[in-house]
Amino acid sequence: MFGDFFSRALIAGVGLALVTGPLGCFVVWRRMAYFGDTMAHSALLGVALSIILSLNMTLGVFAVAAFVAGALIILQRQATLSTDALLGILSHSTLAVGLVLVGFLTTVRIDLMGFLFGDILAVSVEDIAVIYGGGIAILAILILGWRPLLASTVSPELAEAEGLRPEVSRLVLMILMASVIAIAMKLVGVLLITSLLIIPAATARRLSATPEQMAAVAAGLGAVAVIGGLYGSKTWDTASGPSIVVMALIVFAVSLAVPAGRLFGRRPVHGA
């Protein structure tokens, strides 16, 4: 179906960017960057457990990331530690436990660098099917739940007064992030996933006038980063995952020269 590994990488990367852009907007609006890192770090633990228990790796990573999200919610309710302290504990602990478990898997050859930094050039047709199938499901949930998600982001108190249940919206957002991390791990690696969520969304924030515009622009900028990064990787023989993130950073740096909100001629999105 897709005869060339480079074309498969482009198709997979663009498909992922179309999902991480809109979802990353909520990460930026809610200041959840550290939470994204925590869930991404837990992916390696999911990989190790999947191998030990002979589970599907995507499902294993999703299960562990979702478990970490649930653990954070439970620990936050105890109010004994600040959220950033809890995130630090969960982030480094899951990464360390994952690395220790990988060390015990002496009979299985594991490409640790591939899991940490991704290998988008090794993507298969089956991986593309998972990315687009999962991506369509994630975008459908975002679209259907856009109003409660946005309302609980802008003002949780007002959303609760309107009967929108902001805690449910927060849980849904965490599950969606776990899903993205599960399908993105093979492409950009556990250490770079959060960058693809945050950088295009942060760039789009300066250029957009409404939340909807910001989501669309973030998706487009993510696609530009993927395409530019892959061609740069091919030209200069650099690692593909980091090259995509570097391209996203370049786009962000260039956007700083554009007056905020200039893309649509209105004030940029600051609230949300």
Does 235 fall in a domain?
Answer: yes
Q: 200 Cβ partners below 8 Å, 6+ apart?
A: 17, 20, 21, 24, 218, 219, 221, 222, 225, 248, 251
pLDDT at 190 over 90: no
Does 104 fall in a domain?
Answer: yes
Per-residue pLDDT tens digits for 5-15: 899 999 999 99
Identify the three-state secondary structure at position 149: helix
Residue reference for tokens 């290998």: 119
For residues 29 and 39, is the Cβ–Cβ distance under 8 A?
Answer: no
- CATH number reported for the structural domain that contains residue 14 in this entry: 1.10.3470.10
Distance, CA of 105 to CA of 207 (rounded, Å)? 47
Does 262 fall in a domain?
Answer: no
Residue-level pLDDT at 185 = 86
Residue 259 DSSP label = P
Nearest to 118 by CA among 247, 249, 244: 244
Per-residue pLDDT tens digits for 139-178: 999 999 999 999 999 888 877 877 778 888 888 999 999 9
Question: Higher model confidence: residue 108 or residue 128?
Answer: 128
Residue-level pLDDT at 111 = 78
Distance, CA of 87 to CA of 170 (rounded, Å)? 16
Does 130 fall in a domain?
Answer: yes
Does 51 fall in a domain?
Answer: yes
Identify the three-state secondary structure at position 55: coil
**Range(s) of the domain holding residue 146:** 5-255
Does 269 fall in a domain?
Answer: no
Pair of tokens at residue 72: 């954070």
Residue 80 DSSP label = S
pLDDT at 270 over 60: no
In the chain, the number of structural domains is 1
pLDDT at 116 over 90: no
The predicted model scores a pTM of 0.90
Does 264 fall in a domain?
Answer: no
| Radius of gyration, alpha carbons of the chain | 18
Residue reference for tokens 């940029």: 268
Identify the three-state secondary structure at position 49: helix
Distance, CA of 189 to CA of 116 (rounded, Å)? 5
By the 10 Å C-beta count (0-12 exposed, 13-18 middle, 19+ buried), 175 is classed as middle
Distance, CA of 217 to CA of 232 (rounded, Å)? 22
For residues 8 and 146, is the Cβ–Cβ distance under 8 A?
Answer: no
CB atoms closer than 10 angstroms to residue 38: 26
Proportion of the chain above pLDDT 70, given as a percent: 94
Does 267 fall in a domain?
Answer: no
Distance of CA 68 to the CA centre of its chain: 15
